[in-house]
């Protein structure tokens, strides 16, 4: 079974990788991803300065998903720029996730990461867990201006990680923005922002930051993720590579993302909860699903979702 995939001219040995933020902050975590069955090493979304992130508890799993308000804990882009060349020894693509609290933060990080030469850059327009900071991905004009500046810096293929959109008008508006910039792939979606989980026994929220509000992940968000993958697949007529993220727990979940139009998937909540062996299990399950369905490869089923 051929589980490899190609995105922006870069070949991935399998279509499974970690989501930025899941087990990828420290050098040790990144090296462990390199030694695992992951098809790539995706870094934590990086900012100019190291960040401790929000106070804990800031991540909690619950039946059906997870809630988090991590606050972009990371080592800072100088540390990742130094690490990226070292990660090449694992012979799999390195994807650098770039974030910021202002446009200038993105630009500073972009200049450093361009010199480090990862295989792909994922521009995170969608972190919902910084108190007082809106998601850039919901401001179409701000997104356009930032991406225009970044495209002049990167020679590496640049993709964008987008927030969930809930209306076709918003899908179409962002697609118009992306058509005007040099975007090579999309990562869909980041966590669904500002959910709230309550512990009825203690009568409290379950995470500390933002009064308990946080980004939702896991199975609970899969329908939203699939809808965004499918919407952008159709808007770009299957010509834009998409990495699907959201609700990937089993091989069947991966298959659903592929049917909707994804070329690969990123795994977040399951990876945090289960550890790196999740890649082995999901890879095996995906192979079984594709074999049962009569597909010889990931590419063979991509975008083949039927409508009634």
User: What residues act catalytically?
Assistant: 127
Annotated binding residue 291: no
How many other β-carbons are positioned within 10 Å of the β-carbon of residue 198? 11
Annotated binding residue 246: yes
Annotated binding residue 268: yes
* Ramachandran angles phi, psi of 2, nearest 5°: -95, 105
Task: Please state whether 243 falls in left (phi above 0), alpha (psi between -120 and 50) or beta.
Answer: beta
Annotated binding residue 124: yes
- Whole-angstrom distance, CA of residue 24 vs CA of residue 262: 22
Specify the DSSP class assigned to residue 181. Answer: T
Annotated binding residue 215: no
| Strand 242-245 relative to strand 5-7, pairing | unpaired
Annotated binding residue 211: no
- Whole-angstrom distance, CA of residue 15 vs CA of residue 279: 10
Task: Assess contact for 184 and 241: CB atoms under 8 A.
Answer: yes
Annotated binding residue 45: yes
Annotated binding residue 228: no
Annotated binding residue 146: no
Binding site for FMN: what residues are annotated? 44-45, 124, 161, 189, 218, 246-247, 268-269
Binding site: what residues are annotated? 44-45, 68-72, 124, 161, 189-191, 218, 246-247, 268-269
Binding site for substrate: what residues are annotated? 44, 68-72, 124, 190-191
């Amino acid at each position: 079974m051929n589980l490899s995939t190609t995105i922006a001219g870069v070949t991935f040995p399998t279509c499974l990788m970690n989501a930025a933020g899941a087990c990828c902050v420290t050098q040790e975590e990144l090296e462990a991803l390199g030694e695992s069955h992951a098809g790539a090493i995706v870094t934590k979304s990086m900012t100019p300065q190291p960040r401790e992130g929000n106070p804990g508890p800031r991540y909690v799993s619950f039946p059906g998903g997870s809630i988090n308000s991590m606050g972009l804990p990371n080592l800072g882009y100088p540390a990742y720029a130094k690490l990226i060349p070292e990660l090449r020894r694992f012979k799999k693509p390195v994807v650098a996730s770039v974030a910021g609290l202002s446009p200038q933060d993105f630009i500073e990080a972009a200049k450093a990461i361009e010199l480090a030469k990862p295989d792909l850059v994922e521009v995170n327009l969608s972190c919902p867990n910084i108190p007082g900071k809106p998601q850039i991905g919901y401001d179409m004009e701000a997104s356009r201006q930032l991406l225009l500046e970044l495209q002049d810096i990167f020679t590496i293929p640049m993709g964008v990680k987008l927030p969930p959109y809930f209306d076709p008008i918003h899908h179409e508006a962002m697609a118009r923005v992306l058509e005007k910039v040099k975007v090579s792939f999309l990562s869909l979606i980041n966590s669904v922002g500002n959910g709230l989980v309550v512990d009825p026994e203690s009568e409290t929220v379950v995470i500390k930051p933002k009064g308990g509000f946080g980004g939702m992940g896991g199975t609970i968000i899969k329908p939203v993720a699939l809808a965004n993958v499918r919407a952008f697949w159709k808007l770009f007529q299957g010509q834009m590579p998409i990495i699907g993220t959201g609700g990937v727990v089993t091989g069947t979940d991966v298959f659903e993302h592929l049917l909707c139009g994804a070329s690969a998937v990123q795994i977040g909540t399951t990876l945090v909860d289960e550890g790196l062996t999740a890649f082995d299990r999901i890879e095996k399950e995906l192979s079984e699903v594709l074999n049962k369905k009569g597909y010889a490869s990931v590419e063979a089923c991509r975008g083949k979702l039927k409508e009634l």
